[in-house]
Chains A and B, each alone.
Chain A
Amino acid sequence: DTGVSQNPRHKITKRGQNVTFRCDPISEHNRLYWYRQTLGQGPEFLTYFQNEAQLEKSRLLSDRFSAERPKGSFSTLEIQRTEQGDSAMYLCASSLGVGDTSEQYFGPGTRLTVT
């Protein structure tokens, strides 16, 4: 068990550019979550997957945000036409997805800075 990993750890981009982040969950976990954390705030839920199915995406911040989990393993979060307000920490978490007491394990996050 190597934990949840996220890449890159840091990303600096210019406004208007597209960025993509990757999350590799714990191997046997079938649920994967994306959260965003801005300075001084707690994590805010964005979207989540059960295997490759995206169960909730209405909380994605705008249509510039999209996420995929094509084979039910790793996931990507893409932000198109980045804006300065997108600067934040993007967190990924995974859980076993069975039973009602499975906890979420978080990765270290990807810090995005939009200049």
Chain B
Amino acid sequence: AQSVTQPDIHITVSEGASLELRCNYSYGATPYLFWYVQSPGQGLQLLLKYFSGDTLVQGIKGFEAEFKRSQSSFNLRKPSVHWSDAAEYFCAVGAPFSGNTPLVFGKGTRLSVIA
């Protein structure tokens, strides 16, 4: 069965510091991979997605993620965190060759940003 593991429940970083959120997946093939962000009272917003091709993908708000097949990982990074990045981040997988199937989400990583 497909599963997504986000090992870090909560991360605190200083504003301006770099950020890496970890995501590992279990899937029979290379799935489609997504990172979503959820702010309090808001719906999930897609940050970036990987379907195929270049393993380093760029997203919105200065985020990027790197797909590593050998490690079954899709870690999210940002070089300099802003206070407005404080939110819950979810990694998700979808069936390959179909971006329209239900997604399987990790449990999320809550990001706190301190001055």
Contact = CB atoms under 8 A, between A and B. Distances in A.
Contacts of A59: 102
Contacts of B97: 100
How many interface residues does chain B have, given as a range? 20 to 34
Contacts, number: 65
A66 interface: no
Task: Classify chain A's interface size.
Answer: 20 to 34
Nearest to A34: B102
B99 A103 contact: yes
Nearest to B110: A40
B99 A41 contact: no
Contacts of B44: 43, 91, 93, 106
A107 B42 CA distance: 8
Given A101-B51, A106-B44, A109-B43, A42 B99 contact: no
A35 B43 CA distance: 12
B103 A45 contact: yes
A109 B88 CA distance: 15
A28 interface: no
A99 interface: yes
A33 B102 contact: yes
A95 interface: yes
23 contacts: A35-B102, A40-B108, A41-B108, A42-B4, A42-B92, A42-B105, A43-B90, A44-B105, A93-B44, A95-B99, A95-B100, A96-B100, A99-B99, A101-B51, A101-B99, A102-B99, A103-B34, A103-B46, A103-B49, A106-B36, A108-B42, A108-B43, A109-B43
Interface of A: 3-4, 31, 33, 35, 40-45, 48, 56, 59, 91, 93, 95-109
